Chain A
Amino acid sequence: DGGITQSPKYLFRKEGQNVTLSCEQNLNHDAMYWYRQDPGQGLRLIYYSQIVNDFQKGDIAEGYSVSREKKESFPLTVTSAQKNPTAFYLCASSIEAGGWIEQFFGPGTRLTVL
Chain B
Amino acid sequence: RKEVEQDPGPFNVPEGATVAFNCTYSNSASQSFFWYRQDCRKEPKLLMSVYSSGNEDGRFTAQLNRASQYISLLIRDSKLSDSATYLCVVKWGSGSNYKLTFGKGTLLTVNP
Contacts and interface: CB of A to CB of B under 8 A. Distances in A.
Contacts of A105: 43-45
B100 A101 contact: yes
Q: Majority SS of interface residues in chain A?
A: strand
A63 interface: no
Q: Majority SS of interface residues in chain B?
A: strand
Contacts, number: 45
30 contacts: A35-B102, A40-B104, A42-B4, A42-B87, A42-B103, A42-B104, A42-B105, A43-B44, A43-B87, A44-B102, A45-B99, A50-B96, A88-B41, A90-B43, A90-B44, A99-B32, A100-B49, A101-B32, A101-B34, A101-B91, A101-B98, A101-B100, A102-B34, A102-B46, A103-B46, A103-B100, A105-B43, A105-B44, A105-B45, A107-B42
